[in-house]
Amino acid sequence: MSQPERATPTRALVDRNLSFAIWVPLLLGLLAYVPTLRNGFVWDDLVYIVQNPAAHQLGSLSTSLWQGFGWRPGENEAANASLLYYRPVVVFLNTVQWVTSNGQAVQFHLANILLHAGSAAALGALALSLGLSSGTALVVGGLFAVHPAPSEAVAWISARTDLLATGFALATVLSVASQFSPGAATERLRSAQGGQLPGVAWLLPGILLLVALGSKESALAALPAAGLVLFVLRPTRRTLGGIAGALAVGFAIYLALRVAALDDRAFGPTARHEHPAFGPRILQSGALFFFHLSRLVLPWPSCTEPPQFLTVANLSKPMAIGGLALLALASVVLALVVRRAGRSRDPRALSGGVGLVLFLGGLIPVLQWKPSGDFYGERFMYLPTAGFLLTLGAAFDGVLSRGARGIATLAVCAIPCFALLQMRLPEWKDEISLFSAAIETRPESARAHSALGSALMNGGRVQEAEPHLRRGLELDPKDTTKQAQVGSLLLKLGKVDEGVTELQRAYDGGLHSVTVLTNLGVGRIYQGQGEAAVKVLSEALEVQPNSVTLLEVLALAYGKSGAHEEAATRLRQVVTLDPTRKSAYLSLIDTYRNGLKLPEQATLWSNEFLERFPDAPEAARVRELLGR
C-alpha cells in the first residue's frame, strides 16, 4: 500500500523541526554526563595515555600514527593484541589533548561528552532526514543521549573509539541521505543552496567514512547503511556514481593505510590464543546477542566483566538458542524491510532498514564468531543502540508523529533512563570504585580482583591489595600478568623470596616487560644476587636504554656483584641524562670512595654535589666526608 504524500514543509517548519531534532538530544547528552568531568584516568587510560610517552608529545605523532593503537615505544611486540587495531584518529586526539591539557583528565572527559552529544544530535538529524516525523526524531535522538546501556563508551576515556566511530558513521549516512531524501534536513539544505546541493557534498561521505574507520573498525556498518539509502532512493546515475565513488575511495584509502601500518597483522591476529570449539562458540555468540539485546530494554547493572552465564563453561543454553533465533529473526526482518523500502520508498521502511543495518552491523562482529581479545564490553553497544532506537522509532512513527506525543514519550522514557544512568556514572570515578563495582557483580572474576588489587597497591593501600591480588591469581593461576602483580606486591611487603618466586614464574612464562624485569632485578638485589640482577636489568635496559631509573638500579646491581667500575659508568650516564638526580650523585660518591677506593674522584663528585645541591638535607653529610 502506498503512503500518502506529505505536504512540502515550509522553511520555518523545516528550521523548527531540524532544531528540535538536533538541539534537544545535544543538550540532553551534555547534561547527562556532566558528572563524569570529576572522573580521572582509569584502566586502559593509564596504559594507552598516562604511561605512554608516545602520547605525550606532538613530535611522536609521525611515528605513532603509523603504529597499531596502543603502541608504546620499546614494547612493540607482534604478540601484543592491541597492535591489531589501527585507529589513528584516536591516537591523534589523545596526543593533542594530552599536550594541550598538560595531562589533565577533565579535558579528555569533556571531549567524550561533546562527542556523545554530537552523536545524539546526528542520530536525531538522520531520523528526520530519512523522512521520520519531528516527534520521532526527537525521541530517537533524545533517548540515545540518556540511555544507560552504552554509558561505558562515554564515561571511560579509552572507549572514545566507539564515540568517534559512531558519530562519524552516523554523519556518513546523514551526508548521503540529506542529499536527496524526503526529510526536513534535506529541505533545509536545498533551500540554503537555492534548490541545488553543492557539488562538493559528493565528497563528504567518503571523507566522513575515512575518519569513522580510522576511529574503529565497527564504523564499517556505515557502508551498507549508506548503500541501502542509495538503493532505496535511486538517485540519478551521476549522483549515484559520485557518492558511491567517494565512499569507495574513502574505504580504499583506509585499507591502504591499514595495510601499510600493520603489515601482515592488518586483517587478523598473529598471536596464538586458546579458543572454544566451533559448536560452543556459536552457542556463546547466541547468548551474547540475547544478553546485549536485553540490556537495551532491561535495567541491568553496569559491569566491566561479562556475567558468568556467558562463559562457555557456564553457558545458558536456552539463552544461547533464543539468541540465535532472535538473530535469525532480525536478519529476516531486515530482508523484508529492505524489500518493502525498495518497492515503495516508504520513509519508515527505509529508516527501519538503516537502523537494523547499524544495529546488526555494529553488534555481529563482537559476538565472538571469530574469537578476539575483547570478549565483552558495554561500549560495544554504543553503535547498536543508535541503530536499535532508529528502528524502534520507524516502527512507532505513526504514533509519535501526532501532536505532542513525541515530547511526552521522550519525557516518560528519558526520566528513568536518566536516573539509571546517574546511578552508574560514579563507578567510573576512579579505579577503586570501578573494580569494586565489578567484583560486586562478578565476585569470581579473576581480572576484577587483580585490577582492584593493582589499583589499591598503586594508591598506597598495600595491605588491602594483597587478598585481591592473591584471589585473582588463585582464580587464574596460569596468567603471567597476575603472577607479576603478586610478585611486585610481595616485594613491597618485604616478602622478598616469595615475590621473586612469582616474578620468576611470570618471566619463565614469557612475560618480559620492563616492569617485570625491573622488579625481578630489584628482588635479586635484595637477595644479594648481584649477577642475576645485572642479567635481567640489562635485558630491560635494551628496551629502554635511556631510562635513568633502570640505569641507577643496574648500577646498584653491578655494585652488589663487585663490578664497581661498571656501576660508576652507569651512574655517570644517569647524571648526564638527569643532572638533578641527587641519589645518583650520592651513589657515585659512595662507589668511588668505598668500592673503587679512589678518594680523589669521590672528592670531585662531592664538590659537584655541593655545587648543585648546597641546601639539600644530604649536603651536611657530604661536607662531613670532605672534612669541612
The domain containing residue 580 runs over which residues? 544-628
Of the candidates 268, 291, 289, 294, the one whose C-alpha atom is nearest the C-alpha of residue 367 is 289
Q: What is the CATH number of the domain that holds 585?
A: 1.25.40.10
Q: Output the DSSP codes for 453-499.
A: HHHHHHTT-HHHHHHHHHHHHHHSTT-HHHHHHHHHHHHHTT-HHHH
Least confident of 84-98, 206-220, 275-289, 456-470: 275-289
Domain boundary among 425, 451, 472: 425
Average pLDDT over residues 348-355: 95
Domain boundary among 386, 404, 425: 425
What is the distance, to the nearest Å, from the Cα of residue 144 to the centroid of all Cα atoms in its chain?
20
The Cα–Cα gap between 322 and 129 comes to: 35
> What is the structure's pLDDT at 627?
76
In a domain, 1, yes or no: no
Mean pLDDT (the chain) is: 87
In a domain, 373, yes or no: yes
Note the pLDDT tens digit of each residue in 353-380: 999 999 999 999 999 887 766 778 899 9
Is residue 625 classed exposed, middle or buried when 0-12, 13-18 and 19+ CB atoms within 10 A define those classes? middle
Cα distances (Å, whole numbers) of residue 362 to 165, 349, 356, 487, 532 = 10, 20, 10, 40, 51
The Cα–Cα gap between 116 and 119 comes to: 5
- Using left for φ > 0, alpha for ψ between -120 and 50, and beta otherwise, residue 43 falls in left
The Cα–Cα gap between 603 and 605 comes to: 6
The Cα–Cα gap between 78 and 66 comes to: 14
In a domain, 560, yes or no: yes
In a domain, 391, yes or no: yes
Domain boundary among 397, 425, 453: 425
pLDDT-derived band at 407, boundaries 50, 70, 90: confident
Average pLDDT over residues 308-334: 91
- Nine-digit cell string for 232: 532505496
For the chain, what's the residue count?
A: 628
- Using left for φ > 0, alpha for ψ between -120 and 50, and beta otherwise, residue 597 falls in left
**415 and 549 together in one domain:** no
**412 and 561 together in one domain:** no
DSSP state, residue 583 = H
> What is the structure's pLDDT at 316?
85
pLDDT-derived band at 423, boundaries 50, 70, 90: very high
> What is the structure's pLDDT at 233?
85
pLDDT-derived band at 184, boundaries 50, 70, 90: very low
555: how many CB neighbours lie within 10 A of its CB? 27
Of the candidates 390, 464, 388, 406, the one whose C-alpha atom is nearest the C-alpha of residue 432 is 464
The Cα–Cα gap between 6 and 333 comes to: 26
> What is the structure's pLDDT at 8?
45
Is residue 274 classed exposed, middle or buried when 0-12, 13-18 and 19+ CB atoms within 10 A define those classes? exposed
In a domain, 584, yes or no: yes
Spatial contact of 504 and 66, defined as CB atoms under 8 Å apart? no
Average pLDDT over residues 53-77: 78
> What is the structure's pLDDT at 222?
97
> What is the structure's pLDDT at 186?
47
Least confident of 120-124, 278-282, 396-400, 537-541: 278-282
> What is the structure's pLDDT at 190?
43
Amino acid making up residue 210: L
**416 and 552 together in one domain:** no
The Cα–Cα gap between 447 and 482 comes to: 9
Cα distances (Å, whole numbers) of residue 166 to 50, 170, 231, 310, 472 = 25, 6, 22, 26, 34
The structural domain count of the chain equals: 2
The Cα–Cα gap between 364 and 327 comes to: 9
pLDDT-derived band at 497, boundaries 50, 70, 90: very high
The Cα–Cα gap between 123 and 591 comes to: 67
Residue 78 has pLDDT above 90, yes or no: no
The Cα–Cα gap between 67 and 243 comes to: 30
**421 and 550 together in one domain:** no
Note the pLDDT tens digit of each residue in 577-599: 999 999 999 999 999 999 999 98
Amino acid making up residue 448: A
What is the distance, to the nearest Å, from the Cα of residue 602 to the centroid of all Cα atoms in its chain?
51
**554 and 409 together in one domain:** no
> What is the structure's pLDDT at 375?
77
In a domain, 463, yes or no: no
The alpha helices in 234-277, defined as continuous H runs, are: 237-262
The Cα–Cα gap between 265 and 262 comes to: 5
Is residue 175 classed exposed, middle or buried when 0-12, 13-18 and 19+ CB atoms within 10 A define those classes? buried
Residue 505 has pLDDT above 80, yes or no: yes
The Cα–Cα gap between 53 and 56 comes to: 5
Amino acid making up residue 172: T
The alpha helices in 65-159, defined as continuous H runs, are: 88-101, 105-129, 134-146, 152-155
In a domain, 99, yes or no: yes
DSSP H or E segment with residue 225:
helix 222-233
Crossing angle of helices 317-344 and 347-363, in 10° steps, is 140
